[in-house]
Amino acid sequence: MRIAVLGSGFIARFYAESLHAQRRKDYITMVYSRTAENAKRFADDYGLPYYKTSMSEAIAHDEVDVVLISLPNHLHEAAVMECVKAKKHVICTKPLGRNALEAKRMLDAVEKAGIFGGYLEDLCYTPKFLKSMESVKRGDIGRVLWAKSRETHPGPHSDWFWDKEKSGGGAIIDLGCHCVEISRNFIGKNIKPIEVMCWADTQVHPIDAEDHAIGLVKYANGAIGQFEVSWTFRGGMDLRDEVMGTEGTIWLNSFLRTGFEMFTTGKGSDGYVAEKAESTTGWLFPVGDESHELGYPNMFTDMFEAIEEKREPLESFYDGYVVNAILDAAFVSAESKRWEPVILEDWRGDESEDTQKKWESYDDNHYLIKKEVLPNGDITFILKHKSTGEVSRKVILAK
For the bound state, the minimum distance from the C-beta of residue 392 to a copy of itself, rounded and expressed in Å, comes to 6
For the bound state, the minimum distance from the C-beta of residue 34 to a copy of itself, rounded and expressed in Å, comes to 14
How many residues appear in the chain? 399
With CA atoms as reference, report the closest residue to 118 among 272, 249, 313. 313
What residues contact residue 163 under an 8 Å CB cut-off, 6+ apart?
none
Do residues 254 and 293 lie in contact, with contact meaning Cβ atoms separated by under 8 Å? Answer: yes
Asked whether position 380 contacts a copy of itself by CB under 8 A, the answer is: yes
Asked whether position 24 contacts a copy of itself by CB under 8 A, the answer is: yes
> Buried b / exposed e across 283-311, counting CB within 10 Å, b at 16+?
ebbbbeebbbbbbbbbbbebbbebbeeee
As a whole number of Å, the CA-based R_g of the chain is 24
For the bound state, the minimum distance from the C-beta of residue 293 to a copy of itself, rounded and expressed in Å, comes to 8
Count of positions on this chain that bind a copy of itself (CB under 8 A): 122
Asked whether position 157 contacts a copy of itself by CB under 8 A, the answer is: yes
Helix (H) or strand (E) holding 257: none
Integer Cα distance of 89 and 277 in angstroms: 36
Asked whether position 354 contacts a copy of itself by CB under 8 A, the answer is: no
**Which residue, 101 or 374, is less far from a copy of itself as judged by CB?**
374
Residue 364: how many other CB atoms lie within 10 Å = 6
Asked whether position 49 contacts a copy of itself by CB under 8 A, the answer is: no
Task: Reduce the secondary structure of 222-233 to three states and give it as a string.
Answer: CCEEEEEEECCC
Asked whether position 36 contacts a copy of itself by CB under 8 A, the answer is: no
DSSP string, 130-182: HHHHHHHHHTTT-SEEEEEEEEE-S--SSGGGG-HHHHSSSHIIIIIHHHHHH
DSSP string, 366-394: EEEEEEEE-TTS-EEEEEEETTT--EEEE
Out of 33, 38, 183, 254, the residue judged to bind a copy of itself by CB under 8 A: 254
State the first-to-last Cα distance of the chain, in angstroms, to the nearest integer.
Answer: 70
For the bound state, the minimum distance from the C-beta of residue 317 to a copy of itself, rounded and expressed in Å, comes to 22
Asked whether position 14 contacts a copy of itself by CB under 8 A, the answer is: no
**Which residue, 106 or 329, is less far from a copy of itself as judged by CB?**
329
Asked whether position 338 contacts a copy of itself by CB under 8 A, the answer is: yes
Asked whether position 270 contacts a copy of itself by CB under 8 A, the answer is: yes
Provide the residue type at 362 as one letter.
Y
**Which residue, 81 or 368, is less far from a copy of itself as judged by CB?**
368
For the bound state, the minimum distance from the C-beta of residue 353 to a copy of itself, rounded and expressed in Å, comes to 14
**Which residue, 35 or 249, is less far from a copy of itself as judged by CB?**
249
For the bound state, the minimum distance from the C-beta of residue 266 to a copy of itself, rounded and expressed in Å, comes to 8
Asked whether position 347 contacts a copy of itself by CB under 8 A, the answer is: no
Asked whether position 399 contacts a copy of itself by CB under 8 A, the answer is: no
**Which residue, 158 or 190, is less far from a copy of itself as judged by CB?**
158
Out of 63, 289, 335, 363, the residue judged to bind a copy of itself by CB under 8 A: 289
